[in-house]
Each structure stands twice: as structure tokens, then as C-alpha cells.
Amino acid sequence: MIWQHYKKKFISQKSPNRTCPKMNIVIAVALALGVLVAVSEASYDFAPKYRSFKYDAAKFVSGGCGPGWHQYNNRCYWFSRQKLNWYTASMKCVAMGGYLVSIDQSHENTYVRHMLSVYGVRGGSWLGLNDILRPNKHRWCWGFVAKPCHKFDWYSNEPVYHEHGDYNCGMFKRSYKFHWHVDSCGQKNHYVCEKPLGKPCVCVY
């Protein structure tokens, strides 16, 4: 299966501390320039329809992550414009010094969902959530490690299990107001990368 190729490529990298080799700065900057969007902490220059969005303002800061990245609570986030399958999106994030976003707390999840709305994402966007390594046990983890998922933002009766196909990856689904949804890992969607602020990438992939 296709995931076996990517698993071999990333499984050897350390996780829960998320440490991985330093990224190639030139390549990362080149990739990042295509998605340069400035968000000002002082002005909160968001459209009026997003005023209902709530999070701790002290945890939201603009800059310090590099071109195209957004800083929130000492972490950096990249919101893609292109669509890739889950495996390729994972590789793309690693190439930029990060990993597909791993949600640890509800306020982080709220922030990411809001930014997906700001970017006008259609369809949905990948996050690191998957059960690729344990498809028959339905144990959802972040990346290719045993870091369990705290199941707090699945939509309605999700995760829905499929007998056929590679429905082993999680996404923020637009039609579900960006709550989590199970999709085929081979499907092309937008994606969200994450990395620590001011440190070499600590990857889960």
C-alpha cells in the first residue's frame, strides 16, 4: 500500500518531542513565499463575520515564524493553498521543517478552524490525525507514532469506519464547519503544517 512507502520514510524520526533534521532554509522560504499572509496582533484585521471567533489574545502573535507562517501560542502554522493527498502533504510539511498539525488543546483547534475560514478553504484541510498503523483497531493517533488523539472535535457520529478504501485520515471538513471528518488518505485536500517557534522542526512523521 502507498502508506507503507511513507511510513518507512518517516517512522524512524523521533516524536513526542518532535525533533527532526534542520530544514533547508532556501527551499522553505521559496515554498513559503507563495502563501504570504500577514495577520496583525494589534489590529485583528479579520472580516466582521469572524467576530464570533474567541481565543486567548495573549497567545496570538504575528511574525517570528518566517514568511507564510502564522504564530499562535509559541507555535507556527502554515495554511496551504494547494491540494495534496495526506501522505504527500505530510512530506511537504516535513520539507518545510514541520509536520501535519497535531491538535493538543481546544483553543488551538478553534484557532486553526478560524484560520481555515479566513483563508476561504473549500472542501477541507488535512490534519495529522490518522489510524494508518492500526486500521483494524481504529486507534486514532497523530502522525506515525503512538501519540493518542484526544477525541474532542469529531463531527456528529464521526469517525465513520469504511470496510473498503483507505479511509484512515482525518480532515477539517468545511461543510461540517471544519469539525473533524474521516476521508480517504489518497484524496487531495488542503493541509495545515505546524512547527515549534524558533526551533528546528520536531517532527511526528
State pLDDT tens for residues 16-42: 344 444 344 333 433 433 333 333 222
What residue numbers bound the domain in which 31 lies? Answer: 2-196
Residue-averaged pLDDT of the chain: 70
How far out from the chain centre does Cα 110 lie?
A: 13
**Closest by Cα among 100, 88, 109 to 154:** 109
Residue 193, pLDDT score:
96
For residue 205, being part of any structural domain is answered with no
Residue 156, pLDDT score:
75
For residue 112, being part of any structural domain is answered with yes
Q: Which three cell numbers stand for residue 160?
A: 465513520
pTM: 0.64
Q: Burial level of 8, CB count in 10 A (0-12/13-18/19+)?
A: exposed
Domain count along the chain:
1
For residue 103, being part of any structural domain is answered with yes
Is the confidence at residue 44, as pLDDT, over 60? no
For residue 179, being part of any structural domain is answered with yes
Residue 107, pLDDT score:
92
State pLDDT tens for residues 54-72: 444 444 454 578 888 999 9
Is the confidence at residue 96, as pLDDT, over 50? yes
State pLDDT tens for residues 2-21: 444 444 444 444 333 444 44
Is the confidence at residue 186, as pLDDT, over 80? yes
Angle at the Cα of 179 (from 124 to 92), degrees rounded to 5? 40
SS (H, E, C) the chain: CHHHHHHHHHCCCCCCCCCCCCCCHHHHHHHHHHHCCCCCCCCCCCCHHHCCCCCCHHHEECCCCCCCEEEECCEEEEECCCCECHHHHHHHHHHCCCEECCCCCHHHHHHHHHHHHHCCCCCEEEEEEECCCCCCCCCCEECCCCCECCCCCECCCCCCCCCCCCCCEEEEEHHHCCEEEEECCCCCEEEEEEEECCCCCCCCC
For residue 204, being part of any structural domain is answered with no
For residue 59, being part of any structural domain is answered with yes
For residue 202, being part of any structural domain is answered with no
Higher pLDDT: 48 or 197? It is 197
Q: Are strands 124-130 and 99-100 parallel, antiparallel or unpaired?
A: unpaired
Higher pLDDT: 191 or 57? It is 191
Higher pLDDT: 195 or 155? It is 195
- Which CATH number fits the domain that encloses residue 160? 3.10.100.10
State pLDDT tens for residues 133-161: 766 666 777 776 666 666 677 767 767 77
Average pLDDT over residues 76-89: 95
Average pLDDT over residues 116-128: 93
Residue 61, pLDDT score:
52
Give the whole-number percent of the chain exceeding pLDDT 70. Answer: 56
Residue 91, pLDDT score:
92
